[in-house]
């Protein structure tokens, strides 16, 4: 069944090569998934060779894990290893049909990436952003072919979470949108079309919930108490573990975008800011890191 709002799949372009901009954790997880499900070459790029090598090494290690779990036979693993490569030179995207970015969450950085990539790829190449909260319309605003820009938002961990939010920006064309839906189908994800609004749907709802947890901590509830309070609901992860999974910096960033857009509904949390700025791991042995506990402000 065609997902609500998805264009005619006949408009989708063939994807024979994928480019991934960024070689961080999210980008590397995406690269593995694209290679595994689309069975096409996938090339990762980043600012320096060290980051690229780290990304490719992550993919290789995950392939080894799949083999050791019996999820992938040796022949398919060898083929998969051959499909994923890395380069610091974005000209490797010249023959890509689908380029997805997972770079730093700042509009200026994303726009710069797209401006650079637009000069390299064909006008038909779909440009997909995995942004967690930034406007897709704004990312495409200065491009020559904004009609091929679409939002393609994964959830962490990419291999496991079933959903992808597909975002139609103001000028996204049907061909790009149809391609995104067809790619999502091949990735075996459930794709939903969402509006280009701050943090889209899932992160907006999630941040409302997470924001309230942190508001109780800000107001003086001990973090461990706030963290465990929802256990009876059977959530797959406690709030602090989830914050650690997405990254405190990302959580703070998404929260800030929502605070700017809807200040009454998304109050700023001083503690989330402190945690993000500290760069410290939030959890140690599944408990709140004592160094983080020491910097939290409560009930002031």
Instruction: Give the shortest CB-254-to-ligand 3HC separation in angstroms.
Output: 6
Give whichever of 4 and 160 is closer to ligand 3HC, judged by the CB atom: 160
Part in contact with ligand 3HC (CB under 6 A); list of ranges 45-53, 223-231, 236-244, 292-300: 236-244
Give whichever of 7 and 55 is closer to ligand 3HC, judged by the CB atom: 55
Instruction: Give the shortest CB-266-to-ligand 3HC separation in angstroms.
Output: 15
Closest CB to ligand 3HC: residue number: 132
Compute CA distances 16 → 19, 34, 43, 190, whole Å.
10, 11, 12, 22
Catalytic residue status for 259 = no
Task: Report if residue 28 touches ligand 3HC, rule: CB under 6 A.
Answer: no
Instruction: Give the shortest CB-203-to-ligand 3HC separation in angstroms.
Output: 5
Nearest to 95 by CA among 73, 125, 137: 125
**Catalytic entry in 145, 153, 253, 259:** 153
Compute CA distances 136 → 105, 198, 211, 271, whole Å.
12, 10, 24, 29
Instruction: Give the shortest CB-284-to-ligand 3HC separation in angstroms.
Output: 18
Task: Report if residue 155 touches ligand 3HC, rule: CB under 6 A.
Answer: yes
Nearest to 82 by CA among 59, 52, 100: 59
Binding mask 71-90 for ligand 3HC (x = CB under 6 A): x-------------------
Task: Report if residue 132 touches ligand 3HC, rule: CB under 6 A.
Answer: yes
Kindly report the number of other CB atoms within 10 A of residue 277's CB atom: 12
Part in contact with ligand 3HC (CB under 6 A); list of ranges 11-19, 46-54, 74-82, 156-164: 156-164
Task: Report if residue 157 touches ligand 3HC, rule: CB under 6 A.
Answer: yes
Task: Report if residue 242 touches ligand 3HC, rule: CB under 6 A.
Answer: yes
Task: Report if residue 34 touches ligand 3HC, rule: CB under 6 A.
Answer: no
* The binder of ligand 3HC chosen from 78, 159, 219, 284 (CB under 6 A): 159
For ligand 3HC, the binding residues (CB under 6 A) are 69, 71, 132, 155-157, 159-161, 203, 206, 236-237, 242, 246, 250
**Active site positions, annotated:** 153
């Amino acid at each position: 069944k065609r997902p609500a709002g998805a264009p005619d799949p006949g408009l989708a372009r063939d994807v024979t090569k994928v480019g991934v901009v960024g070689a961080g954790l999210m980008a590397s997880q995406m690269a593995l998934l694209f290679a595994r499900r689309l069975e096409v070459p996938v090339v990762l790029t980043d600012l320096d060779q060290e980051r690229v090598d780290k990304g490719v090494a992550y993919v290789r290690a995950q392939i080894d894990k799949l083999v050791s779990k019996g999820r992938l036979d040796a022949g398919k693993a060898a083929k998969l290893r051959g499909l994923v490569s890395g380069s610091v030179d974005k000209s490797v995207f010249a023959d890509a049909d689908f380029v997805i970015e997972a770079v730093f969450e700042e509009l200026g950085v994303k726009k710069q990436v797209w401006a650079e990539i637009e000069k390299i790829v064909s006008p038909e190449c779909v440009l997909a952003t995995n942004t967690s909260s930034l406007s897709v319309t704004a990312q495409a605003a200065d491009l020559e072919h904004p009609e091929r820009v679409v939002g393609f938002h994964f959830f962490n961990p990419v291999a496991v979470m079933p959903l992808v939010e597909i975002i139609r920006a103001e000028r996204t064309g049907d061909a790009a949108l149809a391609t995104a839906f067809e790619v999502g189908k091949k990735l075996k994800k459930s794709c939903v079309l969402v509006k280009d609004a701050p943090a889209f749907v899932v992160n907006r709802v999630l941040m409302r919930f997470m924001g309230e947890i942190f508001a109780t901590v800000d107001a003086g509830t001990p973090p461990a108490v706030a963290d465990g309070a929802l256990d009876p609901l059977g959530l797959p992860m406690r709030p602090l573990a989830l914050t650690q999974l997405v990254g405190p910096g990302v959580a703070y960033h998404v929260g800030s975008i929502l605070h700017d857009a809807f200040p009454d509904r998304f109050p700023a949390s001083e503690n989330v800011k402190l945690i993000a700025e500290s760069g410290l791991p939030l959890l140690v042995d599944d408990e709140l890191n004592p160094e983080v506990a020491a910097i939290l402000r409560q009930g002031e």
